[in-house]
Chains A and B, each alone.
Chain A
Amino acid sequence: MFPTVKKAFGILVMLFLIAPLAAILPLAFTSSALLTYPVPEWSMRWLTELVTEPVWRRSIANSLIIGGGTTVLATTLGTLAALGLRRYSSLFAGVLKTFFLLPMVVPAVVLGVGMQVFFVHVGIANSYLGVIVAHTVIAMPFVYVSVSGSLAGIDPRVELAAASLGASPSTVLRTTTLPLSLSGILSGAVMAFATSLDEVILTLFIAGPHQRTLARQMFSTIRENVSPAIAAAAFVFIVGTILVACLIMLVRMRTGGAMQKSVGPGIS
């Protein structure tokens, strides 16, 4: 309609969306102790600090432990439930589905307060188990949505065909259903991991000093003593995100995206 205005506006918004992410990356390689431009000299100083400084090292290790635990737990629970509910469309099933998505809606701070009280009560406050459980609660909906999406994309006749060709129900699951929903399960797992990695609020409420995660460490670093180490940590995050996105795309392509419609991440 107004081509120039449209183009200019589109570019401006894209800039607004992308530029902040781009702006943070170079600062991971600054030699200065300040998080500012211009960068006086390039250096690996801060990335090195991330792996040598015990606080950062510890927090990265914690993030990996907790992220790993969360991924396993959330993916297992979410996938099982999605498998169980896939053929149901009753009112009760609808209520259950809504219930499974609710943790995405409830404000994290509210959940945090409740978990703090409850976890102390049952004795899993300040423990890895506690943090993993808490992260699983909010990471599971992503798995559920992603897996049920890919299950819904499976043509039921393919599974009937497997049965008619002699596959028992458990063989159908193993040879047909799971391979065909693999991309959904993997996307779900990746999202669960990413959710855990990025989680600050619940961690703030229920983790003890020994379970300080990378995100939690970044949060307090920004609050207390800003240093380019956070840019370095952010760099790690962004590179990780891009790697993971590529991974999902690859899996998607390999498992024949054409046969499946899917809900979840990725540019589709």
Chain B
Amino acid sequence: MTARLGPHLKASALVLPLVLFLALFFVWPIIAMLKQSVSDPVVHNTLSQTSAIAAQWNGKAPVPAALQDALVADIRATTDRQEMGAVVRRLNSAKSGFRTLMRKTRRAIRKTDGPINLGEVDKRWNEVAWWHTIAQASSPYTDRYLLAALDYGRDKHNQIVALPEDASANRTILARTFVISLSVMLSCLAIGLPFAMVIASTSGWLRNVLLAAVLLPLWTSLLVRTTAWFIILQNNGLINSALQALGITDQPIPLIFERTGVIIAMTHVLLPFMVLPIYSVLLSMPGNLMQAASSLGAHPIVAFLKVMLPLSARGIASGSLLVFMSSIGYYITPALIGGPSDQMISSVIAFYATESANWGMAGALGLVLLSITLLLYVVYGRLSAEKKGVA
């Protein structure tokens, strides 16, 4: 028995450290991010009595007296200004006007220790809508970030509705991310497919040189490559200087902080991912297929369309998926080369996370990006598994 079990135990002991490491520092952070996208603890934690009562309220007027008393008690009990500030921000983001309403209410509560009629402090407390907002915000979980990530929200009847155009731009950004990724993928394909065929048609040192040209950039820092494009694309950079020196333009063509620049730089960065899969498929093909086709009377172009293209379809598909999947999460290149209207979903996530400390939104958009990427990865995995099956 020990002879059977021994090797497995040893193998487990070797694999376990990495599994634990990834569980702790890879899976858990992703779960933490996902949790951020649905958690809304501010109101629930700070206005705890109010939240408890609001959870039982059927939402109909009149507002129960107990709810009003609970709110007063909660406000009175919260001495930490920052904590209360967070509550106010949260409520105000759901319904503007809460900031002034709360300031007024808190001032009134601070003046006395006795019971308070909120309706007298501010007439708005008589309106059910304000209480609805509190009630909605008092659940520890929320779908508002996830909805907002796709430009949806809830109206006052708690129905899911599309947000007004000016309120959010996430769908625009998502569409832009797709457009840029698609453009990068197509330009990689346009350059990469013929280039892979050129490499496959060569041999000896020439092939090695061509392959080195593909691999060298792959092994150069992404940051360096982006920097290089930054230098080249500038208004007084190499391209514009050349164009001006040749008299083609007398004004610099705007390339940097423009969509064109982003696509050029990303194409350069991702081109190897297109070339290599196609090249490896082409390599596994007999070299004389094209000759065979033409000897059978096919025009070179027909031979290409009917023979080469279908046979390399799998390489093209994996290359395209790889490029698309990588570009969809790109951050550095658009951040450095692109203008404000070229920022992709990663930039927006980074903005929410590092600049506006809006973890909910960062998490929700992160979930969207993660789902799309994993979906593409599954398709890609299927594709390469099939490839192995065939070979």
- The answer to whether residues A118 and B195 also contact, given A21-B225, A36-B234 and a CB cut-off of 8 A, is no
List residues of chain B with CB within 8 A of the CB of A200: 223, 332
Number of interface residues of B (CB under 8 A): 82
- The distance from the CB of A136 to the nearest CB of chain B, in whole angstroms, is 7
List residues of chain B with CB within 8 A of the CB of A14: 209-210, 213
Please determine whether A88 and B11 come into contact, CB atoms closer than 8 angstroms.
Answer: yes
Please determine whether A231 and B18 come into contact, CB atoms closer than 8 angstroms.
Answer: no
- The answer to whether residues A108 and B366 also contact, given A98-B381, A238-B224 and a CB cut-off of 8 A, is no
- The distance from the CB of B346 to the nearest CB of chain A, in whole angstroms, is 4
Closest to A107 in B: B329
**Is B379 on the interface with A (CB-CB < 8 A)?**
no
Q: Looking at the complex, which of A42-50, A79-87, A251-259 is the stretch in contact with chain B?
A: A79-87
Closest to B230 in A: A222
* B-facing residues in A177-206 (Cβ within 8 Å): 194, 197-198, 200-201, 204-205
Interface string of B263-284 (1 = CB under 8 A from A): 0000010010000000000000
Please determine whether A21 and B220 come into contact, CB atoms closer than 8 angstroms.
Answer: yes
Give 17 CB contacts A-B under 8 Å: A17-B268, A24-B224, A24-B228, A81-B18, A85-B11, A85-B15, A87-B11, A99-B19, A107-B328, A113-B359, A114-B34, A116-B354, A140-B22, A198-B221, A223-B336, A234-B223, A234-B228
- The CB with the most chain A CB atoms within 10 A, among B231, B300, B329, B370, is that of B231
Please determine whether A237 and B220 come into contact, CB atoms closer than 8 angstroms.
Answer: yes
| Given A37-B237, A81-B18, 11 extra CB contacts under 8 A | A1-B300, A16-B268, A36-B236, A36-B241, A118-B32, A134-B25, A194-B221, A198-B222, A231-B227, A238-B224, A267-B215
Interface string of B164-200 (1 = CB under 8 A from A): 0000000000000000000000000001001100100
Closest to B199 in A: A10
**Is A230 on the interface with B (CB-CB < 8 A)?**
yes
Please determine whether B11 and A109 come into contact, CB atoms closer than 8 angstroms.
Answer: no
List residues of chain B with CB within 8 A of the CB of A241: 219-221
- The distance from the CB of A163 to the nearest CB of chain B, in whole angstroms, is 13
Please determine whether A118 and B28 come into contact, CB atoms closer than 8 angstroms.
Answer: yes
- The distance from the CB of B260 to the nearest CB of chain A, in whole angstroms, is 14
- The answer to whether residues A137 and B214 also contact, given A105-B373, A234-B227 and a CB cut-off of 8 A, is no
* B-facing residues in A73-117 (Cβ within 8 Å): 76-78, 80-81, 83-85, 87-88, 96, 98-100, 102-103, 105-117
In Å, the complex CA distance between A76 and B229 comes to: 36
**Is B349 on the interface with A (CB-CB < 8 A)?**
yes
Say whether chain A's binding surface is mostly helix, strand, loop, or mixed. helix
In Å, the complex CA distance between A136 and B17 comes to: 13
Please determine whether A20 and B336 come into contact, CB atoms closer than 8 angstroms.
Answer: no
Please determine whether B373 and A117 come into contact, CB atoms closer than 8 angstroms.
Answer: no
List residues of chain A with CB within 8 A of the CB of B236: 34, 36
Interface string of B345-367 (1 = CB under 8 A from A): 01001100110000100110010
Say whether chain B's binding surface is mostly helix, strand, loop, or mixed. helix
Please determine whether B32 and A117 come into contact, CB atoms closer than 8 angstroms.
Answer: yes
**Is B14 on the interface with A (CB-CB < 8 A)?**
yes
Interface residues of A (CB under 8 A from B): 1, 6, 9-10, 13-14, 16-18, 20-21, 23-24, 27, 34-37, 76-78, 80-81, 83-85, 87-88, 96, 98-100, 102-103, 105-119, 121, 133-134, 136-137, 140, 144, 194, 197-198, 200-201, 204-205, 215, 218-219, 222-223, 226, 230-231, 234, 237-238, 241, 245, 265-267
Please determine whether B234 and A219 come into contact, CB atoms closer than 8 angstroms.
Answer: no
- The answer to whether residues A114 and B30 also contact, given A21-B216, A137-B22 and a CB cut-off of 8 A, is yes
- The answer to whether residues A117 and B359 also contact, given A1-B300, A24-B228, A27-B231 and a CB cut-off of 8 A, is yes
Please determine whether A84 and B353 come into contact, CB atoms closer than 8 angstroms.
Answer: no
Please determine whether B216 and A24 come into contact, CB atoms closer than 8 angstroms.
Answer: no
- The distance from the CB of B50 to the nearest CB of chain A, in whole angstroms, is 27
In Å, the complex CA distance between A164 and B302 comes to: 60
Please determine whether B329 and A109 come into contact, CB atoms closer than 8 angstroms.
Answer: yes
**Is B129 on the interface with A (CB-CB < 8 A)?**
no
**Is B290 on the interface with A (CB-CB < 8 A)?**
yes
**Is B12 on the interface with A (CB-CB < 8 A)?**
yes
List residues of chain A with CB within 8 A of the CB of B14: 80-81, 83-85
In Å, the complex CA distance between A245 and B217 comes to: 12
List residues of chain B with CB within 8 A of the CB of A223: 335-336
List residues of chain B with CB within 8 A of the CB of A37: 237-238, 241
Closest to B191 in A: A13
**Is B57 on the interface with A (CB-CB < 8 A)?**
no
- The distance from the CB of A171 to the nearest CB of chain B, in whole angstroms, is 15
Please determine whether B29 and A114 come into contact, CB atoms closer than 8 angstroms.
Answer: yes
List residues of chain B with CB within 8 A of the CB of A10: 195, 198, 210
- The distance from the CB of B286 to the nearest CB of chain A, in whole angstroms, is 16
- The distance from the CB of A102 to the nearest CB of chain B, in whole angstroms, is 7
In Å, the complex CA distance between A112 and B124 comes to: 42
- The distance from the CB of B221 to the nearest CB of chain A, in whole angstroms, is 4
List residues of chain A with CB within 8 A of the CB of B210: 10, 14
In Å, the complex CA distance between A200 and B18 comes to: 23
List residues of chain A with CB within 8 A of the CB of B225: 20-21
List residues of chain A with CB within 8 A of the CB of B307: none
User: What are the nearest 3 A-B pairs in CB distance?
Assistant: A107-B329, A84-B14, A114-B29
